[in-house]
């Protein structure tokens, strides 16, 4: 005898960028206050419960929103205390927000390190030994300000070379 078929509700959720942006915009605009009382109800009426809640959970997985999720007996659930995170504000900011500012990495090389780097490149260069010695002598005798100007010119030169720069740095394998 065949067991009776059970009908299960299949969740139909699709990622919806328009809905996600709407959620984040409303939450960030009313922050630090709560969103309007009918906010979720209105979204669910327009986009459907599965799509709305699925996109909310997706935003939560990416750290853009926080909420309290409560599951009840019988499978129903509630989403309460919906708030945007700092990532939501930065995501919506055209300039990347404070995360972009805080994420900047500054690299400082002292004069001696620059001398060593340039000297290494000269030493490995395919040029006559006499020329290498002359260039190394010049690099070692450059004052700090001259070394800074040389470094700037070398960077400009490298950036002007584009495709040659990729070969020079030997990073094409990773591109």
Task: Give the H or E element holding residue 56.
Answer: helix 49-61
Residue 174 is classified by DSSP as: G
Kindly tell me the burial class for residue 171, based on how many C-beta atoms sit within 10 Å of its own C-beta (0-12, 13-18, 19 or more).
exposed
42: tokens are 């209105």
* Dist CA 65 CA 85 (whole Å): 5
Other Cβ atoms less than 10 A from the Cβ of 115: the count is: 19
| pLDDT band at residue 73 under the 50/70/90 scheme | very high
What pLDDT does residue 61 have?
Answer: 96
User: Considering only 32-36, 134-138, 167-171, which range has the smallest mean pLDDT?
Assistant: 167-171
> Is the pLDDT score of 22 beyond 90?
yes
* Dist CA 49 CA 101 (whole Å): 37
User: Considering only 11-15, 80-84, 118-122, which range has the smallest mean pLDDT?
Assistant: 11-15
Q: What is the mean pLDDT of residues 3-9?
A: 46
| pLDDT band at residue 138 under the 50/70/90 scheme | confident
What pLDDT does residue 122 have?
Answer: 86
Q: What is the mean pLDDT of residues 65-81?
A: 91
**Residue whose structure tokens are 């799509």:** 51
Check residues 118 and 55 and name the one with the higher pLDDT.
Answer: 55
Per the prediction, the chain carries an average pLDDT of 84
Kindly tell me the burial class for residue 160, based on how many C-beta atoms sit within 10 Å of its own C-beta (0-12, 13-18, 19 or more).
exposed
111-124 vs 129-141: helix crossing angle, rounded to 10: 170
What pLDDT does residue 171 have?
Answer: 54
Of the candidates 70, 92, 91, the residue with the CA atom closest to the CA atom of residue 81: 70
What pLDDT does residue 55 have?
Answer: 96
What pLDDT does residue 170 have?
Answer: 63
Predicted structure pTM score: 0.56
Domains for the chain: give ranges and CATH numbers: 17-102 (1.10.10), 111-174 (no CATH)
For the segment 140-174, what is each residue's pLDDT rounded down to a tens digit?
A: 888 888 888 888 888 888 777 766 666 666 655 55
What pLDDT does residue 158 have?
Answer: 74
162: tokens are 């584009």
């Amino acid at each position: 005898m065949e067991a009776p078929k059970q009908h299960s509700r299949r969740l139909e959720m699709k990622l919806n960028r328009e809905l996600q942006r709407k959620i984040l915009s409303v939450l960030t605009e009313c922050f630090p206050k709560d969103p309007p009382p009918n906010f979720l109800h209105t979204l669910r009426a327009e986009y459907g419960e599965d799509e709305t809640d699925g996109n909310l959970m997706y935003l939560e997985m990416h750290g853009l929103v926080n909420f309290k999720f409560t599951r009840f007996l019988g499978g129903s659930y509630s989403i309460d205390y919906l708030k945007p995170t700092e990532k939501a504000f930065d995501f919506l900011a055209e300039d990347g927000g404070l995360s972009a500012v805080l994420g900047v990495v500054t690299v400082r090389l002292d004069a001696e390190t620059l001398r060593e780097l340039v000297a290494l490149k000269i030493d490995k260069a395919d040029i006559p030994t006499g020329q290498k010695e002359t260039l190394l002598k010049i690099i070692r005798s450059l004052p700090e300000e001259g070394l800074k100007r040389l470094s700037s010119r070398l960077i400009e030169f490298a950036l002007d070379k584009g495709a040659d720069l990729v070969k020079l740095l030997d990073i094409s394998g990773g591109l």
